[in-house]
Amino acid sequence: MSGTRKAVSETSSRLPPPSMPNARSMRDAHRFVRPILVVVPLLGLILGFGTRLAGLGQWSGTIWAAATIPVLGALLVEIVASLRRGDVGLDIVAALSMTGALLFGEHLAAAVVALMYAGGQYLESFAERRAEREMTALLGRVPRTAVRYRDGRLEEVSLATVAPEDRLLIRQGDVVPVDGVVARGTAVLDQAALTGEAQPVRKARDEPVMSGVTNAGDAFDLIATHRASESTYAGIIRLIEAAQASKAPMSRLADRFAMAFLALTVALAGGAWLLTGDPIRALAVLVVATPCPLILAVPVAIVSGVSRAAKAGVLIKGGQALEALARVRVLVIDKTGTLTHGEAQLSRIQPAAGLSPETLLRLAASLDQASKHVTARALVREAQARGLSLAVPTGIAEVPGEGLEGTIDGQHVVVGGLRYVANTVPGLGRSLDGSRFAAGSVVVAVAVDGRLGGLLILADSLRTEAAQVIERLRRLGMNRIVLASGDRSDVAETVTVGLHLDGVHADLTPDQKIRIVQAEKQHGPVMMIGDGVNDAPALAAADVGVAMGAKGAAASAEAADVVLLVDRLDKIPAAIQAARRSRHIALQSVYAGIGLSVVGMLAAAFGYLTPVQGALIQEAIDVAVILNALRALWGAEPS
């Protein structure tokens, strides 16, 4: 059937990032030329057989030879370009078989090989485009303009001119151009392109919205929080470009395999000619070996796996990361923002006598509307999520980082840390004791009209899916799972109770996290999961670094090999399953394809196959190999 225009080492370079216009133009040119190179030998074969039926058989050979020459010429150009780059691939076998067939008068075989080669290139290109669809769909959705409010009017402006604090109109069907928060209306967002979520999500006023999602509901206003170049979607696009420029270790293995196969092909062909004196047998061997399924199976399976993971909301930066992800056996995981949510959430309400939990939370959240403190914002969000109607605070006085006081519905309310409330409201010191709460908890005291109203306890709790994900990773063969956290030891120990980890390391600096990763490599390939800037060095040191969420620190996303497009740990097992399946299918296709090709070559060497028969057999092998490799894309959803 076909070869590929270069050794498999060039697989990834066929996928140049959008920032490389020359490479992209070359790629588009190849896609334009490939169908033409298929049509020429196909028409030549039809016309050659037609002349035979018309009694003009003397012209058939000439027509078939003429139909072969354009394909052979294009192939020779590719071979020369590859040799200049230092690449030696199996396309040489295709060139030898076509050249030999023309020299020995096997013009029909030459035309069949030309058709098989050109058709194989086209089929491989189609398979890769099919596998890349989810990746390139993200690139194609990049918005170019935004609709901005200015002086009471709407104007459509270039995305590069949008700045933080700009108010934008997001129309129904628009792709959100920048990160921001909902300013008016309720946003109904389709996040499937980024996270794989099938159901739209709703965002209320002041809730954050990622760029790159689609407005599936009515129009709403958005206040930009980042420039377009700094937004989530821009970061994802940069990561996709890196993924498309990657090269898999399996491809390097294929390079070495290709050289061995090339030597075997030449040896069998030369031996058959030398021992029998029949050059046609040597030609038949070359034809059966054109091309080797090795250079078709690996790239198609790898690109299929990367594409499949992207569809599920996991961005794998190319074949090298996918290959490494398939082999991991040790997990080192960060705590804050990874194993936990990374922000304090209300876990318990302890109202004093005479107040209900809802009333206590409403009073505290109403006053906290006037504060920008992270704990205050958490209480406001919790109250809004519970549907509580918040009052407008008056007479506000705040001590930054400590607490604030003011009037809510005629009542004097004080909200803050235990020390602040005790100092602000005389006589409450003995009532406020935070020692009985778990390590890592944030205790907020509330006083109402000079008396203790109650306590609100917040904690950075485990993700709901954390325990289940760890158990799934165990079933997938993860031998060791250890925590590496910069948080205090007592907090780390408390949070991880019941998770059955193999080790808990706390109070770590970034360089100490690197040492943990390196030490764990004695147990097998290591995957490190983190989200913060302090995790970036450890992510880079691991065999596979995984960054939590597209909105995590830019440094961690850049250092990581894998980026989760949504902050959910349950994406990790699915990504590992997809990687392992793709690697298994690639190797399966390689071994089966090469085995069948060698059998065909031996049959040709012993005279059991003619050059034309050999070409048709190899065509069937190549089709089977590509379809098998595409199973990495079409199989059942990973779970």
What domains lie within the chain, and their CATH numbers? 8-136+240-313+577-634 (no CATH), 140-235 (2.70.150.10), 315-341+463-565 (3.40.50.1000), 345-459 (3.40.1110.10)
What's the whole-number average pLDDT of the chain? 80
User: How long, in residues, is the chain?
Assistant: 639
Residue 198 pLDDT > 80, yes or no?
no
Q: What is the mean pLDDT of residues 595-614?
A: 90
Are 250 and 323 in contact by the 8 Å Cβ rule? The answer is yes
Residue 252 pLDDT > 60, yes or no?
no
Strand partners, 351: 454
39 burial (CB, 10 Å; 0-12 / 13-18 / 19+) is middle
Q: Return the pLDDT at 109.
A: 83
Percent of the chain past pLDDT 70, that is, above it, reads 79
Q: Return the pLDDT at 192.
A: 59
Rg, Å, the chain Cα set: 32
H or E, element range at 189? strand 187-190
Residue 136 pLDDT > 60, yes or no?
no
Task: Tell me the two tokens of residue 292.
Answer: 């080797």
What is the Cα–Cα distance from 227 to 205, expressed in whole angstroms?
20
Question: Given pLDDT bands bounded at 50, 70 and 90, which one contains residue 3?
Answer: very low
Task: Tell me the two tokens of residue 54.
Answer: 């018309």
Q: Return the pLDDT at 197.
A: 53
Residue 363 pLDDT > 90, yes or no?
yes
Tell me which DSSP letter residue 451 carries: E
Residue 524 pLDDT > 90, yes or no?
yes
Q: Return the pLDDT at 551.
A: 53
Q: What is the mean pLDDT of residues 282-301?
A: 76
Torsion (CA) 350, 352, 358, 362 in degrees, nearest 10: -100
74 burial (CB, 10 Å; 0-12 / 13-18 / 19+) is buried
List, by residue number, the catalytic residues.
Answer: 334
Task: Tell me the two tokens of residue 625.
Answer: 């190999």
- Of 396, 339, 309, 209, the C-alpha closest to 571 is 309
Alpha helices by DSSP H, 54-90: 60-84
Q: What is the mean pLDDT of residues 332-349?
A: 80
Which of helix, strand or coil describes residue 436?
Answer: coil
468 residue type, one letter: Q
What is the Cα–Cα distance from 428 to 442, expressed in whole angstroms?
18
Are 322 and 305 in contact by the 8 Å Cβ rule? The answer is yes
What is the Cα–Cα distance from 233 to 194, expressed in whole angstroms?
9
Cα 406 vs. chain centroid, distance in angstroms?
A: 49
For residue 401, the tally of other CB atoms under 10 A from its CB is: 11
Q: What is the mean pLDDT of residues 461-474?
A: 87
140 burial (CB, 10 Å; 0-12 / 13-18 / 19+) is exposed
What is the Cα–Cα distance from 98 to 100, expressed in whole angstroms?
5
Residue 300 pLDDT > 80, yes or no?
no
Q: Return the pLDDT at 392.
A: 92
Q: What is the mean pLDDT of residues 397-417?
A: 90
Residue 501 pLDDT > 50, yes or no?
yes
Q: Return the pLDDT at 266.
A: 87
Q: What is the mean pLDDT of residues 104-119?
A: 84
Q: Which residues of 189-208 are buried (b: 16+ CB within 10 A; e: fewer)?
A: bbbbbbbbbeebeebeeeee
Q: Return the pLDDT at 181.
A: 94
Question: Given pLDDT bands bounded at 50, 70 and 90, which one contains residue 63?
Answer: very high
- Of 17, 234, 30, the C-alpha closest to 132 is 17
pLDDT, tens digit, 9 for 90 and up, residues 528-573: 998 765 677 888 888 999 988 655 555 566 677 888 877 788 889 9
Q: Return the pLDDT at 535.
A: 76
Q: Return the pLDDT at 388.
A: 93
Alpha helices by DSSP H, 389-429: 418-424
Q: What order do you get walking across the sheet with 220-224 strand by strand?
A: 153-158, 145-150, 167-170, 220-224, 180-184, 208-209
Which of helix, strand or coil describes residue 269?
Answer: helix
What is the Cα–Cα distance from 595 to 357, expressed in whole angstroms?
71
Are 319 and 8 in contact by the 8 Å Cβ rule? The answer is no
Are 452 and 472 in contact by the 8 Å Cβ rule? The answer is no
Least confident of 223-232, 341-350, 464-473, 546-555: 546-555
Q: Return the pLDDT at 131.
A: 47
Residue 405 pLDDT > 90, yes or no?
yes
Question: Given pLDDT bands bounded at 50, 70 and 90, which one contains residue 80?
Answer: confident
Q: Return the pLDDT at 168.
A: 95
The full DSSP string for 92-160 is HHHHHHHHHHHHTT-HHHHHHHHHHHHHHHHHHHHHHHHHTHHHHHHHHT---EEEEEETTEEEEEEGG
Q: Return the pLDDT at 314.
A: 87
Q: What is the mean pLDDT of residues 264-273?
A: 90
Least confident of 283-292, 302-311, 432-441: 432-441
Give 478 or 554, the one with higher predicted confidence.
Answer: 478
The full DSSP string for 272-312 is HHHHH--HHHHHHHHHHTSS-THHHHHHHHHHHHHHHHHHT
Q: Return the pLDDT at 555.
A: 55
What is the Cα–Cα distance from 419 to 429, expressed in whole angstroms?
8
pLDDT, tens digit, 9 for 90 and up, residues 436-453: 666 667 789 999 998 889
Are 321 and 247 in contact by the 8 Å Cβ rule? The answer is no
Write the CB contacts of 187 (distance below 8 Å, at least 6 apart in sequence): 170, 202, 203, 207, 209, 215, 217, 220, 222
Q: Return the pLDDT at 238.
A: 63
Residue 515 pLDDT > 70, yes or no?
yes
Q: Return the pLDDT at 368.
A: 92
CA distances from 78 to 29, 62, 99, 297, 551 (A): 13, 25, 15, 20, 42
Question: Given pLDDT bands bounded at 50, 70 and 90, which one contains residue 326?
Answer: very high
CA distances from 442 to 115, 343, 416, 417 (A): 71, 11, 10, 8
Question: Given pLDDT bands bounded at 50, 70 and 90, which one contains residue 19?
Answer: very low
Q: Return the pLDDT at 20.
A: 36
| The residue to which tokens 């109904």 are assigned | 188
| The residue to which tokens 């996290």 are assigned | 513
Q: What is the mean pLDDT of residues 335-358?
A: 82
Tell me which DSSP letter residue 340 carries: B
Residue 17 pLDDT > 50, yes or no?
no
Torsion (CA) 529, 534, 540, 541 in degrees, nearest 10: -90
Q: Return the pLDDT at 11.
A: 30
- Of 578, 495, 14, the C-alpha closest to 296 is 14
Question: Given pLDDT bands bounded at 50, 70 and 90, which one contains residue 506?
Answer: confident
- Of 102, 43, 47, 46, the C-alpha closest to 72 is 102
What is the Cα–Cα distance from 603 to 288, expressed in whole angstroms?
9
